Each structure stands twice: as structure tokens, then as C-alpha cells.
Amino acid sequence: MLSDSFRRLPSYVQQGVLDYLDEEIRIGFQKSEDAAADEKTTPEGARQLADGIVRSLALRNSFTGESVSSPRDLGIGKRQ
């Protein structure tokens, strides 16, 4: 269920916001996977990437009322 304030926005704006957040989550997840494979990645760098993903997921959840807790819940990062 969409939050009241988000629901008041035109549907094209809602979709644009969700598309943007989904893309931010996808990019963050990809960067996180790349960083995990790079031995030069510091724990702080890995934490910053993870924090960005968590913030984007939380914002998306606050708009949609969903309880998405992982990029995989959005179909991001599934292995073929």
C-alpha cells in the first residue's frame, strides 16, 4: 500500500521515483559485488556501499509500504 503522501503524486512521478530507486539499488548492489571481489576494498568502503543500499531500500519501503529487505527481493542480483 502506498503511503498517503506518495499516493497523492501523479502516477508517472510515482513510477519515476520507484524506477530511480530501483536503479540506485541495482547499481549499489553491483558495486557491492564488485567490491567484494576486489581485495583492495576496505571494510569502510564495503560498509558505505551496503548503507547506501539499505537507505534506498528503506526509502522505497516507506513510499510503497512493502517490506523489501534485499535487492534480491526486487529481482536484482539473481544468479542464472
According to DSSP, residue 10 is labeled: -
Place of cell 537507505: 55
Residue 24 near residue 56, CB atoms below 8 Å: yes
Confidence (pLDDT) at 65: 86
CA distance 7 to 35: 36
Helix ranges, 1-80 (H): 4-7, 11-37, 43-64
Check whether 70 has a pLDDT greater than 80.
no
Check whether 80 has a pLDDT greater than 60.
no
Q: What is the pTM of this model?
A: 0.77
**pLDDT higher at 70 or 30:** 30
Express each pLDDT in 12-66 by its tens digit: 999 999 999 999 999 999 999 899 899 898 989 889 999 999 999 999 999 988 8
